[in-house]
């Protein structure tokens, strides 16, 4: 009798354990099935909602981590190496490094004055999917524009964006993935400076590279200013650096003062120009400080480093704050300064008027 009671108790206990185990297994199975299959039991809903909430929280956390860890890649295409463009590139990189630290990387490439190199460089930037392109000078801007219609492009050291991009109805913005800064100094004030320094000038030679659209634009504007001032002028253009020596030699035989606008080809050949004009006693008024330092006597100058810094500020607004580049107005240098080249002025016996700073 006792033995039967003991066996019955053991059997009852075993059944209870089995029932409990089965119940636990069913609950786990249902919860898992609900999460996978989308069943709508009340317990499953709580589990699914909790899982979704956790997943959303993880995604939000990952997104925040991605944003904070984002390293921006910027491709820089510089048309040619000379002081003005170098300063603009430096100012641009300095601002972004100051603001982003190690969260920005630069792929800086120089086209050595060749339009085909600009095309190759910018096409490479587009293919690699950089976050932004800095196009330093007109040729670089045109190549970048042809390479991509989606990646933001900021130009700098570009004189006139309407001319460079063939925009007829210019309003100050491009309406597409391009903006930037202009190095155009007031041409009428440059013309007035030439007349101020050389009131007895008979004919001015305007020297520029015919391959640079913005140089032609400046040449036309300066010619109009000379006409308004009652001074005769003649244009002299070189297709590339190989023609500069011949063209300058012709110009100094026909003119008593030369004007060179912000022209990259001329800027890269200032030593060649200096070796022709200084022995001949012909002064050069330059469109920017780098050319003036190399072969000129005076300039109405902007700071290219400041111009680059302004461009860097624009890049930060686009990359970090989501500014719409298509509506960003092209910006200009805030200040211009009358400067002179003391060495060449001394060699030519020229005394600059009051208010000029030595370079």
What is the pairing mode between strands 203-209 and 178-182?
unpaired
Q: How many CA atoms lie within 13 A of 144 on its CB side?
A: 35
Average pLDDT over residues 69-73: 93
Burial call 132-164: b when 16+ CB within 10 Å, e when fewer? bbbbbbbbbbbbbbebbeebbbbbbbbbbbebb
Which residues have CB under 8 Å from 358's CB, separation 6+?
A: 339, 340, 341, 342
Confidence of residue 275 (pLDDT cuts 50, 70, 90): very high
Q: Which tens digits make up the pLDDT trace of 173-232?
A: 999 999 999 998 889 999 999 999 999 999 999 999 999 988 999 999 999 999 999 999
Q: Which tens digits make up the pLDDT trace of 104-119?
A: 999 999 999 899 999 9
State residue 213's pLDDT score. 87
- Name the most confidently modeled range: 22-36, 43-57, 79-93: 79-93
State residue 334's pLDDT score. 77
- Under DSSP, the state recorded for 150 is S
Which residues have CB under 8 Å from 251's CB, separation 6+?
A: 205, 207, 234, 236, 258
**High-pLDDT (> 90) share of the chain, %:** 75
More confident residue, 264 or 95: 95
- Which range (41-55, 73-87, 308-322) has the least confidence? 41-55
Query: The tokens of 52 are what?
Result: 């979704």
Q: Which tens digits make up the pLDDT trace of 126-156?
A: 999 999 999 999 999 999 999 999 999 999 9
Confidence of residue 93 (pLDDT cuts 50, 70, 90): very high
Asked if 247 and 216 touch (Cβ cutoff 8 Å), the reply is: no
Query: The tokens of 83 are what?
Result: 């002081």
Residue 53 has pLDDT above 70, yes or no: no
* Domains defined along the chain, listed by start: 2-67 (no CATH), 72-183+304-328 (3.40.50.2300), 187-301+337-358 (3.40.50.2300)
The average confidence (pLDDT) of the chain is 85
More confident residue, 113 or 296: 296
């Amino acid at each position: 009798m006792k033995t039967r009671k003991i066996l019955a108790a053991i059997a009852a206990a075993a059944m209870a354990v089995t029932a409990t185990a089965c119940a636990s297994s069913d609950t786990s199975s249902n919860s898992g099935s609900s999460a996978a299959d989308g069943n709508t039991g009340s317990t499953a809903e709580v589990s699914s909602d909790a899982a979704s909430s956790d997943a959303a929280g993880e995604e939000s956390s990952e997104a925040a981590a991605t944003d904070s860890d984002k390293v921006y890649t910027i491709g820089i295409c510089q048309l040619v190496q000379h002081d003005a463009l170098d300063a603009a590139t430096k100012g641009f990189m300095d601002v972004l490094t100051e603001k982003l630290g190690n969260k920005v990387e630069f792929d800086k490439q120089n086209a050595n004055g060749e339009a085909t190199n600009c095309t190759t460089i910018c096409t490479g930037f587009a293919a690699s999917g950089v976050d932004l392109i800095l196009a330093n000078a007109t040729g670089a801007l045109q190549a970048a524009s042809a390479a991509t219609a989606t990646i933001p492009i900021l130009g700098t050291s570009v004189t006139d964006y309407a001319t460079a991009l063939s925009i007829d109805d210019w309003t100050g913005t491009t309406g597409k993935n391009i903006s930037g800064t202009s190095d155009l100094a007031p041409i009428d004030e440059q013309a007035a400076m030439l007349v101020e320094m050389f009131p007895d000038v008979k004919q001015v030679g305007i020297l520029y590279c015919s391959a640079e659209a913005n140089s032609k634009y400046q040449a036309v504007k300066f010619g109009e200013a000379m006409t308004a001032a009652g001074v005769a002028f003649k244009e002299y253009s070189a297709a590339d650096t190989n023609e500069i020596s011949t063209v300058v030699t012709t110009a100094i035989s026909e003119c008593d003062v030369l004007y060179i606008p912000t022209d990259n080809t001329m800027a890269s050949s200032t030593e060649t120009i200096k070796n022709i004009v200084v022995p001949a006693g012909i002064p050069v008024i330059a469109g920017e400080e780098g050319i003036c330092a190399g072969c000129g006597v005076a300039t109405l100058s902007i700071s290219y480093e400041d111009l680059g810094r302004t461009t860097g500020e624009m890049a930060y607004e686009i990359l970090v704050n989501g500014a719409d580049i298509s509506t960003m107005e092209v910006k200009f240098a805030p200040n211009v300064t009358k400067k002179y080249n003391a060495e060449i002025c001394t060699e030519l016996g020229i005394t600059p008027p009051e208010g000029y700073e030595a370079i």
